[in-house]
Structure 1
Amino acid sequence: MKHFMIKYEFRNGTTEAWHQEIGRFIKAIDSDPELKGRLSYRVLKNRDHGHYFHLASVADDAVQKTLQSRDFFKHYTEMTRKVAAGGEVTVTPIEMIDQTT
């Protein structure tokens, strides 16, 4: 399992429109038979600021490549850059140490 954290500050547009875009992206993942159940994607937001954190976990490299090949992924990536409005969008590979059951 590979894990990634995407971080940025929301700077452009409305949060309502952005949250709808996030929902469409997650629905697209869940509707894709090659990705469903092999990719976990969560979006979190700092309650007090416009900082967002996306946590993605993929079963293997093939799932990551499949996701990256999808038009909905390319659109979502571009939209993420737009809402960050020139700010930095950071993708960091992260390692799972432990978790609850």
Structure 2
Amino acid sequence: MRGITITYKYNGNEEDWQTAVSDFIAAIDSDPEVVGKFTYQVATADDDETRFHWGRWDSAETLAHVQSQKYFNTFAGKVRDFAGGTPSATGHDILHKTNGW
């Protein structure tokens, strides 16, 4: 399983940020091609500015599908805007995980 961790600082309009994240996650959850194959989580740090995004997918094909969707391109643009440029992004292989959420 592959994954990515994205981090950036954001201290703008919280409602705009929350809406963008909610819309993106709803789009993923509605995409029958990625159900059970792609997950996305978003968190804020205790400083209320640092944002973390974690994406996980089962194959290069799943990632390519997500990246080809309008919802992905819209959200990626918003994340760049929220980050004030290019956010930090680190790809990784997931080696071990628990079975729960």
Corresponding residue pairs, total: 99
What percentage of aligned pairs have identical amino acids?
A: 29
What is the deviation of 1:91? 1.4
Which portions of structure 1, spanning 4 or more consecutive aligned residues, are displaced by more than 6 angstroms? Answer: none
Partner of 1:2: 2
Normalising to structure 1: TM-score of the pair?
A: 0.89
Gaps of 5+ in 1: none
Partner of 2:25: 26
Matching of residues 1-101 of structure 1 within 5 Å = 1-11=1-11, 13-86=12-85, 88-101=86-99
Gaps of 5+ in 2: none
Counterpart code for 1:54: H
Considering only aligned residues, what root-mean-square deviation do their CA atoms show, in Å?
A: 1.4
The CA deviation string for residues 71-92 of structure 1, in whole angstroms up to 9 with x for no partner, is 1100000000111123x40211
Normalising to structure 2: TM-score of the pair?
A: 0.89
* Matches of 1:33 and 1:99, distance apart in 2: 24
